[in-house]
Structures are given as structure tokens and as C-alpha cells.
């Protein structure tokens, strides 16, 4: 089973990586501008396809590189042509992209301006009209005034006039609220409601992107997001998820953290190929839907996934996550010392594993609902339990299960042929399972961001040899999940959201 699972996840991670590369080559802004009239767009694409054919006929056959490039362009246009033609029967359902307003929430609870500034700069560099983008910087009142005010002043001054608007909120933790990202996001969203009502902006026109404050969006993300939103007739019953990668400071952090975050990115590449993926970290949702479901719970840790489960329950199971196959780059864990970095990485993984807190809430919401079919209820129940159970147990099962029968099977079993062969069988299966590294290692090297000039080329070798640590890292990765699940089992709940410390190495 575990060998099959490794092969299965590796294959679809590779497929997700291929989709990521393909979508990064697409001019989403050009598609966004033309899709309002699909019939006219079809004619335009047909003209382009004919033009490429004419150029191909005139190209000398021995110019192999040029011929291959033209054939790829022709295949790409043909594929898109099929997609646009399929939209013609429901052209009236396509929303005008000029009506869409993007609000990008950046919650901060102490992060310095140098962490947030690149995120806002990526919005300013987006290949999408800034006149349709609003930045919402959500600060916390508990942050020291001497750092909060200069940070806000610097960022608002630097990006003044760049966007449609630059809003700032300050959240005060109220009675019944937890010190967490969810309560800050909910407060900021409610303040945004007042702004939108004042400006008479329809909620259904607003796409709300709840980003971590260090999220550097791909230049084409908002164009691709807009294209997906305006062309989907069930746009209000969809969330939109980019692929989280941890490239902002990947070269700066240590080998253990690099393996952890690279594995996390590969998992999300795999998830992006599945129909029933769940929102994670930075993602986007229709603001109208957020208003209907009452925003995020103000007393829960895992705000990124719980909003998906709330929406799934609200729409009686008819709610999905639409993957946007473009990267959203985040910070990997990095602290002043090596050991503090490892400690913080453990705390971050423990917080992610705390997502099992969604299980009882979700079960109470979906099982009494007669409009949700039994198959959906069983699927959700199994996926939530299996995912968190596997996270907490897989490493222990693969490490110890093959040896346990020798200790627990008694004298008669230890003398059997099976007992003698069991360690060899277990070792062989684990070794075969490690073949997944044959896919992971090349993918990780091909996905690396450009090496900073401050590092010598030899650091590339570290990126290769760090994978020697994968058995140890894989084994230790189960402990944060065991920690979180045990806390919940014993009623030792987290009292507040642990904010991952963020820093960048200078020089």
C-alpha cells in the first residue's frame, strides 16, 4: 500500500510540476482581455493558427529548433481554441473582466516592512491593471506602536497612488476571540464591507485574496485568477488556489528546512491535480461567498482550511477549489541560529497539523445536511481522517512495523521462514519507496530560484547532497502531527496562533 502511495503521489507531483511550467508560459493577461467575446476570440485564434502554418511552410526543414517552436505554438493555440469554443454556448455567463476588483489582504502581527514590501511590490509588478486592485494591510493592535506606525507609514507612502486604494486596519482582540490570523482577517473583511458599501461596489465583483504577508505573487496570477473567475458559471462556489513554493529565502535557510518546504511544495503540486483539493495558506475567494458564510471563525488556528469546509457545508457539498497553476512564493523558516530555525520549523509544522481541529466542526456541519449526498460525506470523512492519520503514523509504520512481529510473534513465529525474511522484505519495500527521490531530487533542482550573488556556485552541491537527510527528516516530520493530535485529544488546546518568525539574511 505504501509503495503504491509513493508511486501515485510521485506521478501526480510530476504532472503538477508539468502543469506549472506550462501555465507559466501562458499570457494570461492577453487571454483575459479577449475572453469577453469568445466568438471574436475564436476568429483571432484561427488567424494566428493559420499565420503559424504559413510561417512553418516557409521555414527550412533543417531548421529543427524553429520548426519545433512553431509546432509547439500551433499546438498551444489549438488546445486553447478548443477551450474557447466550448465557452461560446454560455457566452452570456462570462463576466466582463473590467468589472472585477481584487482585494489583497496582508495580515501582519509584527513582521517588519522588509518582509511585507516585496509582497506588495509583486502586486505592483502584476500584469493586471492596478486600478482594479486594492491592498488591505491588516495590522494588530498588540504589535508595539513604535514598530507598527513607522511600518505602516513607510508602506503607505511608498505605494501611494499605485493601486486603486491602500487600506489599513488595526485589529483589537475582542472578548471571545483568539489571538490568531483568522480573527484579524475577519475584522479586516468586515471593515472592507463598509468600504465597498460606501463605494457601491457589488460583492460578487470582488475577489478577496487572503495572502500571508510575505507572499510574492507570480506576475500573471491575477490575470489567470480573473480569467478563471469570469469564465466559470459557478464562480461563487469556487475558491482559487495558487501553488505555494518557499523561494523567497530558500538559499538562506538550512538543509533540513529546505527538505521540509520542498516536500510541502511537491505535496501541493500533487494536490493541484486532484478534483477535491483544500485551500492552504495564500488563496483567493469571492467576497460575496465570504460574506454569506460569515468569514473565518475567530477562535480557530487553521483559518486557511476551515474556510473551505465552511463553504463546502454552506453550498451543501457543491463547492470546489480551482487550482491556479502558478507559484505564490513564501518565506521558508529562518531564525538567528540553526537550532532556533529547527525549533521554529517544528512549531510551524505543528500548527499546520493542528488542522485536525476542523474535523469535528465539519462533521457536525455536513452529516445532518440531507442535501449533501452520502458519497460526499464519506469522502470528506475519509480524506480528513486518512490525511492526518497518515501524517502522524506513516514514518513509524515504515520504520518499525516490519520488525514488530519478531518481538511480538513469540518463539514459534520467530522460527518461521516468514520471520527470517520479514526484515529483508521490509528493507526492500522501503528501498523501492525511496525511488521517489529519483523524481523529487531533479524536480527540486529544476525548481530552484536563481542563486543570489552572495553565494558561491558550490552551494548548488549542497542542494543536491541535502537529500541524504531525507530518511531522518521524513521520520521526524511525524512528531509535530503527533504533538498536535495529542494536545487536542487531551484538551490541551493552543491559546493563540503561533506566528512564524520571518527574517532575511542581508548581504
In this predicted structure, the answer to whether residue 429 has a pLDDT above a threshold of 90 is: no
Tell me phi and psi for residue 409, to 5 degrees.
Answer: -85, -10
Q: What is the DSSP letter of 27?
A: -
> 0.85 cut: is pTM over it?
yes
Tell me phi and psi for residue 61, to 5 degrees.
Answer: -60, -25
What integer is the mean pLDDT of 220-239? Answer: 97
Q: What pLDDT, on a 0 to 100 scale, did the predictor assign at position 418?
A: 65
Q: What pLDDT, on a 0 to 100 scale, did the predictor assign at position 414?
A: 61
Name the band, by pLDDT with cuts 50, 70 and 90, for residue 371.
Answer: very high
Query: Residues 168, 279: contact at Cβ < 8 Å?
Result: no
pLDDT in tens, 468-504: 888 888 878 899 999 999 999 898 888 777 788 887 7
Q: What pLDDT, on a 0 to 100 scale, did the predictor assign at position 66?
A: 85
What 3-state DSSP class applies to 483?
Answer: helix
Instruction: Report which of 115, 103, 233 is spatially closest to residue 163, judged by C-alpha positions.
Output: 103
Q: What pLDDT, on a 0 to 100 scale, did the predictor assign at position 409?
A: 61
Name the residue with higher pLDDT: 251 or 62.
251
Pairing of strands 216-217, 320-329: antiparallel
Neighbours of 278 (CB within 10 A): 23
pLDDT in tens, 1-32: 677 777 888 889 999 999 999 999 999 999 99
pLDDT in tens, 390-412: 888 887 777 776 666 666 666 66
Amino acid at each position: 500500500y505504501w509503495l503504491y502511495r509513493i508511486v501515485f503521489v510521485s506521478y501526480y507531483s510530476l504532472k503538477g510540476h508539468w502543469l506549472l511550467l506550462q501555465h507559466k508560459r501562458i499570457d494570461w493577461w492577453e487571454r483575459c482581455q479577449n475572453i469577453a467575446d469568445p466568438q471574436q476570440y475564436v476568429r483571432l485564434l484561427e488567424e494566428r493558427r493559420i499565420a503559424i502554418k504559413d510561417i512553418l511552410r516557409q521555414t527550412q526543414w533543417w531548421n529543427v529548433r524553429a520548426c519545433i517552436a512553431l509546432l509547439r505554438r500551433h499546438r498551444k493555440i489549438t488546445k486553447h481554441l478548443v477551450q474557447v469554443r466550448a465557452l461560446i454556448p454560455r457566452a452570456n455567463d462570462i463576466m466582463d473582466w473590467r468589472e472585477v476588483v481584487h482585494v489583497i489582504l496582508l495580515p501582519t502581527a509584527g513582521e517588519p516592512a522588509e518582509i511585507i514590501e516585496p509582497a506588495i511590490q509583486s502586486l505592483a509588478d502584476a500584469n493586471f491593471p492596478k486600478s482594479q486592485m486594492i491592498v488591505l494591510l491588516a495590522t494588530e493592535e498588540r504589535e508595539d506602536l513604535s514598530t507598527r506606525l513607522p511600518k505602516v507609514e513607510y508602506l503607505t507612502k511608498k505605494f501611494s497612488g499605485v493601486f486603486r486604494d491602500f487600506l489599513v486596519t488595526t485589529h483589537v482582540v475582542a472578548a471571545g476571540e483568539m489571538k490568531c490570523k483568522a480573527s484579524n482577517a475577519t475584522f479586516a473583511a468586515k471593515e472592507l464591507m463598509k468600504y465597498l458599501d460606501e463605494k457601491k461596489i457589488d460583492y460578487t465583483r470582488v475577489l478577496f485574496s487572503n495572502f500571508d504577508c510575505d507572499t510574492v505573487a507570480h506576475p500573471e496570477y491575477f490575470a489567470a485568477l480573473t480569467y478563471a473567475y469570469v469564465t466559470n458559471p459557478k464562480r461563487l462556489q469556487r475558491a482559487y488556489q495558487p501553488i505555494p513554493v518557499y523561494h523567497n529565502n530558500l538559499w538562506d535557510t538550512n538543509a533540513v528546512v529546505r527538505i521540509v518546504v520542498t516536500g510541502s511544495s511537491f505535496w501541493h503540486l500533487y494536490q493541484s491535480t486532484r478534483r477535491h483539493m483544500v485551500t492552504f495558506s495564500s488563496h483567493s475567494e469571492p467576497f460575496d461567498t465570504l460574506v454569506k458564510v460569515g468569514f473565518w471563525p475567530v477562535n480557530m488556528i487553521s483559518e486557511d482550511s476551515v474556510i473551505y469546509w465552511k463553504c463546502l457545508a454552506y453550498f451543501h457539498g457543491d463547492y470546489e477549489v480551482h487550482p491556479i497553476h502558478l507559484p505564490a512564493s513564501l518565506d521558508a523558516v529562518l531564525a538567528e541560529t540553526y537550532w532556533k530555525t529547527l525549533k521554529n520549523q517544528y512549531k510551524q509544522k505543528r500548527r499546520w497539523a493542528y488542522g485536525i481541529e476542523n474535523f469535528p466542526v465539519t462533521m457536525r456541519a455536513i452529516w445532518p445536511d440531507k442535501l449533501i449526498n452520502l458519497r460526499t460525506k464519506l469522502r470528506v470523512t475519509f480524506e480528513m481522517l486518512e490525511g492526518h492519520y497518515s501524517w502522524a503514523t506513516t514514518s513509524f509504520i515504515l520504520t518499525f512495523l516490519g520488525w514488530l512481529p519478531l518481538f511480538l510473534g513469540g518463539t514459534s513465529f520467530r522460527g518461521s521462514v516468514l520471520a527470517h525474511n520479514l526484515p529483508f522484505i521490509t528493507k526492500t519495500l522501503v528501498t523501492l519507496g525511496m525511488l521517489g527521490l529519483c523524481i523529487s531530487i531533479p524536480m527540486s533542482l529544476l525548481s530552484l530560484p536563481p542563486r543570489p550573488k552572495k553565494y558561491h556556485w558550490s552551494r548548488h552541491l549542497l542542494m543536491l547532497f541535502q537529500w541524504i537527510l531525507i530518511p531522518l527528516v521524513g521520520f521526524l516530520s511525524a512528531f509535530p502531527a503527533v504533538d498536535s493530535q495529542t494536545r487536542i485529544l487531551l484538551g490541551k488546546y493552543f491559546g493563540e496562533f503561533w506566528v512564524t518568525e520571518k527574517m532575511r539574511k542581508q548581504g
